[in-house]
């Protein structure tokens, strides 16, 4: 069962988010600390009219979630760019024992419905270039690489 998260879900979301950031830290410890978003961030996203945690439950236990937010393009003031608004996925998290059972795809489908209900035409997300499992999953559910973000250390 999926539903929109509420303030009673903050602790469970925080715990799942912390597990995610531990994994992200192993993939790139130069960017990620092994701690999740602070509780204030989670509460703000739950309270915002422009974002939602869509949670999936098994026996009243949150086993995963997707965090999605309506965003405006920073370039919308320029006629050079076509799209003004889009949905942004911060993260998709599924407990390890529930992975590869279709829950992630189900959450992406829910995010698609969420975006469609708000008149948004696209969903964007970021993924680490060495997170091969996540990249394969996102491609399987219809995402495509449309822009490459690059980084260089200052020496």
User: Tell me: the pLDDT tens digits for 99-148?
Assistant: 999 999 999 999 999 999 999 999 999 999 999 999 999 999 999 998 88
For the cut 90, the answer to whether the pLDDT of residue 73 exceeds it is no
Distance (Å, whole) CA 148 – CA 144: 11
Domain residue ranges of the chain, discontinuous segments joined by +: 2-140
Distance (Å, whole) CA 125 – CA 103: 18
pLDDT value of position 44: 98
pLDDT value of position 83: 67
Fold for the domain defined by 2-140: Aminopeptidase (3.40.630)
pLDDT value of position 81: 74
Q: Which two tokens stand for residue 49?
A: 């009219």
Q: Which residues contact 29 (CB under 8 A, 6 or more apart)?
A: none
Regarding pTM above 0.75, the answer is yes
Distance (Å, whole) CA 79 – CA 75: 8
Average pLDDT score, the chain:
93
pLDDT-based confidence at residue 8 (cuts at 50, 70, 90) = very high
pLDDT value of position 67: 98
Angle 136-138-141 (CA atoms, 0-180°, nearest 5)? 110
Q: For residue 42, how far is the Cα from the chain centroid?
A: 12
């Amino acid at each position: 069962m999926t539903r929109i998260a509420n303030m009673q879900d903050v602790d469970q979301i925080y715990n799942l988010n912390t597990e995610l950031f531990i994994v992200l830290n192993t993939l790139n410890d130069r960017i990620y600390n092994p701690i999740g978003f602070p509780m204030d961030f989670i509460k703000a996203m739950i309270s915002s009219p422009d974002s939602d945690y869509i949670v999936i439950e098994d026996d009243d236990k949150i086993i995963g979630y997707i965090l999605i937010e309506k965003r405006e393009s920073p370039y919308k003031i320029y006629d050079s760019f076509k799209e003004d608004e889009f949905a942004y996925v911060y993260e998709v998290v599924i407990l390890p024992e529930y992975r590869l059972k279709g829950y992630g795809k189900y959450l992406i489908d829910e995010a698609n419905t969420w975006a469609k209900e708000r008149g948004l035409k696209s969903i964007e997300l970021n993924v680490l270039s060495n997170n091969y499992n996540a990249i394969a999953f996102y491609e399987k559910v219809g995402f495509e690489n449309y822009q490459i973000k690059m980084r260089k250390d200052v020496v």
